[in-house]
Every structure is written in C-alpha cells, then in structure tokens.
Structure 1
Amino acid sequence: MEQVLLVTGASRGIGAATAKLAALYGYKICVNYRHDAAAAASVVDTICQQGGHAIALQADVAIEEDVTRLFNTLDTRLGRITALVNNAGILEQQMRLGNMDAARLQRIMSTNVIGPFLCAKAAVKRMSTRHGGQGGAIVNVSSAAARLGSPGEYIDYAASKGALDTMTLGLAREVAEEGIRVNAVRPGFIDTDMHTSGGEPNRIERVKHGVPMKRGGTPHEVAEAILWLLSDKASFTTGAFIDVAGGR
C-alpha cells in the first residue's frame, strides 16, 4: 500500500523537515501551507529533486471549509491518506496574561486546537476500518510548553498544546480498534523562525543554559521522532508522547 502523508504547516521549520525526511522513506507528501506559497514550493522542489513525490496545497486549518477542500484535493491528487502530522501552529508576541485579549486567544486556539481536530476528523474518516479504510497513523506536534506552562511569555500557546495532548490521548483510545495510532511529540527549544513571531529571534541563545543538554534542538531531530511514530517500528505505540527537549 502506498503511504500518503499530509503535513500541515509544512512550508518551514519542523513541518518542512518532516516532509523532506518522510519523502526519503518513500511517502508521497502533501505539503500544506497557509500563506507562504514560495516556501512550500521550495520544499516540494527539494523533495522532487531527491526523487520523491510531493505536492503543495494551500489551506488554513482553522477554517473547516479549507480543511474539507484540502482533503478532497489530496484524495484526487495523491490518493487516500495513510498518515497525518498535525504540525501547523502559531504563537504571538511574548506577554503576560493581563495583556492578552480575546481576539488573540481565539487566533491561538483556532489554529493550534481546532485545526488539529478538524484535520484528524477528516483523516480518521479516510483511515478507519469502520469507514472502509486500511488504518493509519497520526502524530500531533505538541510542545514541552504543555508541561511547563511558559509563564510570562506564552501561557495561551502552552494551554493550546495542553489541549492537543488531551486530544491525543482521547483520540488514540477512541480509534485504537480501527487501525489508527495517534501519538505526539513535544519539542522543546527548537531552532526555527517561530521565535521571531514571538518577538525574540535569538531566544534559544538566552534560554539554552536552562536546558540540561545546553543547546537548542534542530527541526531534523524532531522529524526523526515523528517518523518513528509514523512507522511500523511503533506498531504497538499509541497515546504516547516523545519529548524532544534536551532533557528539559
């Protein structure tokens, strides 16, 4: 059976690294992006130059109609999905709760919580043996922030990832008898441009001394954990979490 993988938010960082690595393992890749078509096209080009098969599809995972269109197009162009990586996520400027407004909270929760729910729903309908599927695997990209809370910086982001952890556990148990495994990785301080969104591009340099390994991680290191969870090597693993956080 051909392996068809959708990686949301795959135009940069962990998502791009996961898409590129998965292609080397033989997956047909859908690189989802929200805004940066050029960056997504670059990921696809890299995969194709290495002999892989990839397409880029635009969709905002926080919008149900976009998710429906994304999966329907994926069905047509690559075939039935067998693997999903819920990677798309956002954070906003570092601040304390007292300065956060409802609009910010809604943006964070829409992308980081509602998005993975919508994508998982669409994937389960295609993967589940209850619906004529042949099974599959879902990996949610959470964060060490779900355990640590990110006080003074991103407690809204941390809370959204805590919700994703709970969804991982519940969905894993809900679909375990239907041939679907659901797991999560929890990255720590990873060297991506997401820190720029929070207003501190060099954040890892400031915080790395609090990491037992005294460094930040790379997107590729997270991608390796994701690919293990997707693979048959993790065939008896569901509802589990891999912390990729340098011991923090």
Structure 2
Amino acid sequence: MNPVTIVTGGSRGIGAATARRLAHDGHHVVVGYRRDHDAAARVVADIRTAGRHGIAVAAEAADPEQIQRLFDTAADLGPLTGLVNNAGVTSPIGPFTDLRVDDLRRVVDVNLIGYVLAAQQAARRMSAGGAIVNVSSAAATLGSPGEYVHYAAVKAATDTLTVGLAKELAPRGIRVNAVAPGIIRTDLHAVSGAPDRPDTAAGRIPMGRAGQPDEVAGAIAWLLGPDAGYTTGAVLRVSGGL
C-alpha cells in the first residue's frame, strides 16, 4: 500500500519540491494550498506523471473547518500516513520596532496556529507508522535581528511543538520531527521585500550559497521514510552551516 501524505503550502517552494519528491518515492500526495490554483494544479500534474495519485485542496491554514476538510479529502486516497506542515508566511523585513500588529497576527496564525491545527488532525487520524514533519527555520536559533524577530520566535515555537508532540505520540508509534532550513531560493524573500536575499546573504553562509528547495525536500522525505524509523523529536538543520 502506498503512503498517503498531506503537504500544506504545497503549491510552491519547499512544499512543491517536497510533493514532487514524495511522489517519486511512492507517496500519494494531497497538496494543500491557499489561492494559487494553477500552481497547485501543476504540482498535481507532476505527481500523476510520477504514477501516483494527487489531489489539490484549497485550505486556509488557520481555519479549523478548512483544515478538517483538507484531511477529510485526503481520506479518499487511503489511510493517512504522513503530514508535512509547511504552509508559512513572513512579513516585510525590518526593525522589530516597525512590526505591525496585523503582520504579527498573520505570522502567528499561519505558522503556529495552522501547524497546531494540522498536527491535531493528523494525530487524530494516524496509526502506528505515521509521521509528521514540521518545517521550521534556522531563524529559530539565530533570532533574525533586524529582519523578522517575530517570525524567528514563532519558528522556535515550532521546534517546541515538534519535541513535545514527538514525546506524546511516540507510545502510539507516530513520529514527529522537523527540518530547519536556512536561506533557500524561494519566493518567500520577494514577499518579505528582499527578492535578492539569497544572493546578498550568501557571504554569511558557511557553504557560500543559498540552498535549493529540492535539498530541503530530500531531508523531509528521509524523515518520513523507514530509514528514520528510530528518529523522533529531532530538528534537522538544512542551512549550509548557518
């Protein structure tokens, strides 16, 4: 039986790369996305080209009813075995004192409340052998001063969520881990007002370059797979040395 995995934020960046990688590895994949139907449809087409079943479901990450519908739809493909909690937003880069409350609330809603809601649905539905991977960030330990301290704080909460939930679900045979990407070439930087950040930041990355979404997807696929069968509560850094 093929694994069935939900990837939230699966229409672009790390999420899209992960959905494609998982399909290549034999997973049926449900692509959660917010509003870019065409991008989600392209990812699903690639999943099907790989010979797996794919479904795209529009769902607002912080809405409990929409998240439940996402998981209900995934049940059409079979019992849920995996969740990649990846849907995320940031806000304009800038000093902490310039942070707007609306931006703060949106970052908390999507990156923390959204992760909790999805993980809760997964924990209710998974049986032994299931696995959750939360997409955190190297910012959780670096703090991102002068950029987005609030985002870093929320990602630190993601790490805590990962450790606590791993311990709670371990007796049921469900594993929970996280990946912590560094600076990756995605459109997240354009949204935050610094589209060239992967290039301008390269000098402070020990490996001398930004990462690619596929490099993060490979780590996620490993954490979901049987080779990571004794790994839970881990935060795997994929940051080029940051």
Give the aligned partner of residue 221 of structure 1: 215
Displacement of 1:171: 0.2
Q: Any residues of structure 2 matched to 1:52-201 within 5 Å, and which?
A: 52-75=52-75, 77-127=76-126, 133-201=127-195
Residue 71 (structure 1) shift = 1.0
Partner of 1:130: none
2:201 is the alignment partner of 1:207: yes
The SS at the match of 1:243 is: strand
Query: What is the CA deviation profile of residues 69-110 of structure 1, one whole-angstrom value per residue up to 9, with x for unaligned ones?
Result: 1111221x2122100000000001111121112221111000
Q: Tell me which amino acid in the other structure corresponds to 1:95.
A: G
Q: State the AA in 2 paired with 1:203.
A: R
Tell me, which stretches of 5 or more residues in structure 1 are unaligned? 128-132
Cα distance in structure 2, aligned partners of 1:101 and 1:200: 18
Q: For 1:98 and 1:241, how far apart are their aligned partners in 2?
A: 30
- Following TM superposition, where does structure 1 have runs of at least 4 consecutive aligned residues deviating by more than 6 angstroms? none
C-alpha distance in 1, partners of 2:25/2:85?
19
Counterpart contact for 2:53–2:77, Cα < 8 Å: no
1:214 CA displacement = 0.2
Matched-pair identity in %: 52
Change (3 A) 1:49 1:2: closer
| 2:228 is aligned with 1:247 | no
Once the two structures are TM-superposed, the CA of residue 51 in structure 1 deviates from its matched residue by 1.9
CA distance in structure 2 between the partners assigned to 1:198 and 1:61 by the alignment: 19
- Summarize deviations over 1:146-176 as a string: whole Å, max 9, x none: 0101111111111110110000000000110
Q: Which residue of 1 aligns with 2:37?
A: 37
TM-score (norm 1): 0.96
Q: 2-side partners of 1:71 and 1:31: how far apart? A: 11
Aligned to 2:10: 10
Letter in 2 for 1:57: V
Q: Normalising by the residue count of structure 2, what TM-score does the alignment of the two structures yield?
A: 0.98
Q: What residue is the counterpart of 2:50 in the other structure?
A: 50
Tell me how large the CA RMSD over aligned residues is.
0.9
Distance 1:49 1:71 in 2: 23
CA distance in structure 1 between the partners assigned to 2:176 and 2:27 by the alignment = 18
Q: Distance in 2 between matches of 1:205 and 1:104?
A: 25
Number of equivalences: 242
Deviation readout 1:114-168 (Å, 9 max, x if unpaired)? 00100000001011xxxxx343000000000001011111111111101100000
3-state DSSP of counterpart to 1:23: helix
Unaligned 5+ segments in structure 2 are none
